Amino acid sequence: MTPKRKKPLAATTAAAAAAFAIQAAAHAAVTVANYAPCKSTEGFGDFLATVTYTYTGGTSASLSVQLDNTTLPALGGYITAFALNPGTGVTAMAFVSSTSANFSGLSGPVSTPPFGSFMTGASTGSGWLGGGSPNGGIGIGMSATFVFSMTGSAAALGALDAETVLAAGCDAMAVRFRGGAVTGWSDKVLGQALPTPGTLAVAGLAALGRRRRRR
């Protein structure tokens, strides 16, 4: 009987590592949602935030926010700061990086008058309200991407997605605009998640069903 040849230890280790990587990738959850204004103090500033939530297991996760300044060109203005509130179950959230060297992280709680305080954020100045020249902010038609780390229980983080990872309603984010071309305006704008197309379709079917039952 011919004895079986043992696999080299290096090959066995490599195979195990590859299997672990494949298993981790299979369990990784990456979701994307858009956030837009829901309340403004002045009615000038406008933005679109593309939020990407990545959870690969355990008690930590990552959040990426691409912030676009979509204010009308004639109005001018720069995004000079923004702040975030996490969803239910997130115990800590911290700034990691920005594609714009002009922004740095804000330690929480971040004061965002008249909207109270948020857990974390980023600004071109020392605070959310800002000071000095706004020109280092995100100009109209421009964008910057920010990364934040998150911690919480595995059960809580695993239950979240990009639409629920930030606080519900207008408590999700607060965006600061400064340096407007018209009368030098500034604005303070709250944002919330936009429903996904699937959510809108389900809501539409539910409304249709209610109308039919009334007939």
pLDDT digits (tens, 9 = 90+) for 15-62: 544 444 444 444 569 999 999 999 999 999 999 999 999 999 999 999
Which of these ranges, 21-25, 63-67, 176-180, has the smallest mean pLDDT?
Answer: 21-25
Class of domain 29-202: mainly beta
Q: How confident is the model at residue 115 (pLDDT cuts 50, 70, 90)?
A: very high
Percent of the chain at pLDDT > 70 equals 78
Distance CA 96, CA 108 (A): 14
Tell me the pLDDT tens digit for each residue of 89-103: 999 999 999 999 999
Distance CA 15, CA 34 (A): 39
Predicted pLDDT at 202: 39
